[in-house]
Amino acid sequence: MKAYLILEDGHVFEGTSIGSRREVISEIVFNTSMTGYEEVLTDPSYSGQAVCMTYPLIGNYGIHYKDQESLRPYMDGFIVHELSRMPSNFRSEDTIQNFLKRYNIPGVAGIDTRALTKILREYGTMNGMITTDENFSLDEVLPRIKAYKTGCEVEEVTCTEIEYWPATDTAVGGVTSPAYADIDPSAPIRGKVTGRKYKVAVMDFGVKYNIIRSLNQRGCDVTVYPAWTKAEEVLAGNPDGIMLTNGPGDPQDCPNEIKEVRKLYESDVPIYAICMGHQLMALATGSSTKKMKYGHRGGNHPVKDLETGRVYITAQNHGYVVDTDTVDPAVAVPAYVNVNDNTNEGLKYVGKNIYTTQFHPEACPGPQDCAYLFDKFISMMGGNQ
């Protein structure tokens, strides 16, 4: 069946329908990762967006449910140049086609994803519609596409109740196949836990499982709190450290979360924040954020550590950035900068045991260059001494 991607500027791409056949209007973004499409599909930070994969062949190693980064995919749509319908991988349990149908996600294959990406890079991220209606009218659909706005997507993807993930010596990791059972998000990562255990409170703004697993692997008992949890409740648990996670959408759409993050900032508990958490902490302390032209999404973004001068290749997924010009140097100082466009990639808070990064040290997908930042967080809590 034919499918169409219609951009708000009037560009129309014709391809083949994959997954669900429902019509959707969403923000259209692109991801430059060559592998890791399953982790991209299940990254909650894509809520409210349809993702175009720039790598031309997607699906060749199938779907393995233990590789998911959340209970289910939250993205609105999936756009590829060529979809492999016969995966070759001994771990494969399913195809992308079936996966998309299972979760009612529409997609389109067979379009010129390079041309689409060049449009988004030149004119910026824009809204679009995925539809199988061959009789669509541009005059009718374009006003609807242009009017689309996301809400507070964080509240759509956060957990609904407190979850407990204890550190463990067992080693399976991931989730079980939904073909046989409900997905179990609590399976631990591979790796033996040694030394003292730490209690970490994770504020779930759209957490990826590998953030939790990375903490578990380092001996942390993790308690995951819904995004709307009051700071007083989190602090009442006497955590050794607090993690503010990644998440979707515009951080300025989260005034309640910003208010609670401010209270956490005022505590003496060590805090490490990633991506959305990094932005929320900045907003909570008086800085501003702004929307980027087309964002950073992929596993090949160079970031410079301003203290050491070393450059790391990082995994990223964000469309907003902290405006460094609005950061009060008495509150925080830039810690990392993006080598390509000089945007802020992290802050070190003055007089506080607080460190934040825009990029994803847990990767999945992406390089593991910055996994050491989890060890730094352990040190902030008094470990490795």
The answer to whether position 119 is within a domain reads yes
Residue among 243, 197, 191 nearest 217 (CA): 191
**Final residue before a domain boundary, out of 129, 147, 165:** 147
Q: What is the DSSP string of 17-71?
A: EEEB---EEEEEEEE--SS-HHHHHT-GGGBTEEEEE-SSEE-TT-B-GGG-SSS
The verdict on residue 385 lying in a domain is no
Do 86 and 56 belong together in one domain?
yes
Report the chain's mean pLDDT, rounded to a whole number. Answer: 92
pLDDT at 173: 38
Quote the Cα angle for 154-157-161, to 5°. Answer: 105
- Nearest C-alpha neighbor of 212 from the set 342, 64, 374, 99: 374
Do 187 and 295 sit in the same domain of this protein? yes
The annotation places the binding site for L-glutamine at 45, 247, 249, 276, 279, 317, 319-320
Active-site annotation, residues:
275, 360, 362
Annotated binding site: 45, 247, 249, 276, 279, 317, 319-320
User: If residue 265 lies in a helix (H) or strand (E), which one and from where to where?
Assistant: helix 255-266
- Across the strands, what pairs with 75? 47
Same domain, 235 and 329: yes
The reply to whether 158 and 87 lie within a common domain is no
User: For residue 268, is it within any domain?
Assistant: yes
Domain boundary pick from 147, 182, 202: 147
In a domain? residue 161: yes
Q: Is residue 85 part of a domain?
A: yes
Domain end residue (candidates: 88, 120, 147): 147
At 75, the amino acid letter reads M
**Whether residue 367 sits in one domain with residue 243:** yes
Looking at the DSSP bridge assignments, the partners of residue 30 are: 52
Whether residues 33 and 117 fall in one domain: yes
Q: Does residue 176 sit within a domain? A: yes
Residues 178 and 128 occupy one common structural domain: no
In a domain, 189, yes or no: yes
Structural domain span for residue 295: 154-380
Tell me the average confidence (pLDDT) per consecutive run of 10 residues in the chain, 385 residues long: 97 97 97 96 97 97 95 96 93 96 97 98 97 96 94 92 82 33 38 67 97 95 97 97 97 96 97 98 98 96 97 97 98 98 98 97 92 95 70
Is residue 272 domain-shared with residue 376, that is, in the same domain?
yes
Residue 274 one-letter amino acid = I
CATH number, domain containing residue 69: 3.50.30.20
**Same structural domain, 264 and 124:** no
Domain count, the chain: 2
CATH number for the domain spanning 350: value is 3.40.50.880
pLDDT score of 151:
78
| Confidence at residue 241, expressed as pLDDT on a 0 to 100 scale | 98
Looking at the structure, do residues 113 and 194 belong to the same domain, yes or no? no
With residue 373 as reference, give the H or E element that holds it: helix 372-380
**Residue 85 has what pLDDT?**
85
Q: Any idea what DSSP says for residue 214?
A: H
Is 172 in the same domain as 253?
yes
Does pTM top 0.75 for this prediction? yes
Same domain, 182 and 100: no
Instruction: Note whether residue 201 is domain-resident.
Output: yes
